[in-house]
């Protein structure tokens, strides 16, 4: 008599372990030729550069469902947010200041007449999220997953979701620990420095008060001019833009960045101080040519910290 013992739980645990080790990245996705072709097509046709700024199109899904306007639900939720914020005047003031700042910095713009919009129109609700931060006690979350009803698609349903196209985080962390001189930095407000193609802006309309400091002011509409946080495709749009910039400007530094950028963070290391300082100078210049600011530098090299302080002083003068 033969007895067959099946350890199903152990198999499931092992499968979970391997997925964890690969950070959830599916090898089938990485080697899918159709996916690679779609991504390459996006790089070639959906990203352009003008006046030192990159302009990107939303990656719309093929045969995507018809996107509803969501105007009513967006308006109702905005009115609800205003009622909540009226109970906390300081939080209301901060909320209005964020929207005013976004408009002044060119991240959003007023829509004076929605009837003149020539493309598909979609409204996005938003709400506050409190943060344990002295400098940024509140942030605004734009809900691109909002549905008018259970059978209605949201904006995220209509957008393609591609896997990360930059280097795997495991490889970056291994290289970060490989050499003597380590360095980290991040791209300041990376998403907000990539412009959204004008034909796609009308699906990012949202309501807020005409006078951001007056809860009784009438509601008006704004729309995004840049890549917004709430869309599931935003990380892909950022990584695709960075990849295109690095590929179009080949150098040792652009290769180093392409291999060691994860979303908007840079982590790498070097064998000697000269290479480290060269990377500090050239990477800042390279990314500034795309409208990005590489900041928050940190390193175990005192020379780099000194150079960072010197460049700060030069900018102030």
pLDDT tens, N- to C-terminus, the chain (317 residues): 555 555 555 556 655 555 554 554 555 555 678 888 999 999 999 999 999 999 999 999 999 899 999 999 999 999 999 999 999 999 999 999 999 999 999 999 999 876 666 678 999 999 999 877 655 678 999 999 999 998 999 999 999 988 778 788 899 999 999 999 999 999 999 999 999 999 999 999 999 999 988 999 999 999 999 998 789 999 999 999 999 999 999 999 999 999 999 999 999 999 999 999 999 999 999 999 999 999 999 999 999 999 999 987 656 54
Q: How many Å apart are CA 112 and CA 295, to the nearest integer?
A: 36
In a domain, 41, yes or no: no
Burial of 3 (0-12, 13-18, 19+ CB in 10 A): exposed
Note whether residue 156 is domain-resident: yes
- Helices 273-288 and 302-316, packing angle to 10 deg: 30
Residue 223 to residue 111: CA distance in whole angstroms = 7
Q: Is the alpha carbon torsion for 155, 157, 159, 163 positive or negative?
A: positive
- The residue segments making up the domain with residue 236 are 71-316
In a domain? residue 52: no
The domain that holds 148 is classified in CATH as: 3.10.10.10
39 assigned to some structural domain? no
| Local structure of 129: helix, strand or coil | strand
The count of other CB atoms within 10 Å of the CB of residue 209 is 19
Structural domain total, the chain: 1
Please give the model's pTM, rounded to 2 decimal places: 0.85
Is residue 227 included in any domain, yes or no?
Answer: yes
Whether the CB-CB separation of 264 and 238 falls below 8 Å is answered with: yes
The pairing of beta strand 126-130 with beta strand 205-209: unpaired
């Amino acid at each position: 008599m033969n007895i067959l013992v099946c350890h199903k739980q152990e198999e499931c645990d092992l499968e979970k372990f391997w997925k964890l080790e690969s950070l959830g990245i599916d090898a089938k996705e990485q080697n899918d030729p159709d996916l690679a072709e779609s991504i390459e097509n996006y790089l070639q046709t959906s990203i352009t550069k003008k006046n030192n700024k990159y302009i990107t199109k939303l990656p719309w899904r093929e045969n995507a469902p018809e996107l509803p306007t969501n105007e009513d639900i967006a308006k109702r939720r905005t009115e609800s947010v205003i009622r909540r914020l009226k109970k906390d005047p300081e939080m209301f003031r901060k909320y209005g200041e964020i929207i005013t700042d976004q408009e002044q910095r060119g991240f959003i713009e007023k829509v004076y007449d929605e009837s003149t919009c020539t493309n598909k129109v979609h409204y996005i609700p938003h709400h506050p999220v409190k943060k344990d931060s002295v400098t940024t006690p509140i942030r605004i979350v734009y809900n691109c997953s909002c549905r008018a009803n259970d059978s209605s698609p949201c904006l995220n349903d209509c957008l393609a979701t591609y896997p990360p196209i930059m280097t795997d985080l495991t490889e970056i962390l291994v290289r970060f620990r490989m050499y003597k001189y380590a360095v980290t930095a991040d791209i300041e407000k990376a998403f907000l420095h990539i412009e959204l193609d004008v034909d796609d802006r009308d699906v990012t309309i949202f309501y807020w008060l005409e006078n951001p400091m007056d809860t009784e002011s009438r509601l008006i509409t704004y729309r995004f001019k840049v890549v917004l946080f709430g869309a599931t495709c935003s990380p892909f749009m950022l990584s695709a833009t960075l990849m295109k910039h690095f590929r179009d400007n080949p150098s040792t530094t652009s290769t180093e960045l392409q291999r060691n950028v994860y979303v908007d963070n840079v982590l790498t290391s070097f064998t000697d101080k000269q290479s480290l300082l060269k990377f500090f100078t050239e990477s800042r210049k390279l990314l500034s040519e795309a409208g990005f600011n590489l900041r928050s530098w940190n390193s175990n090299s005192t020379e780099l910290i000194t150079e960072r302080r010197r460049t700060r002083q030069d900018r102030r003068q």
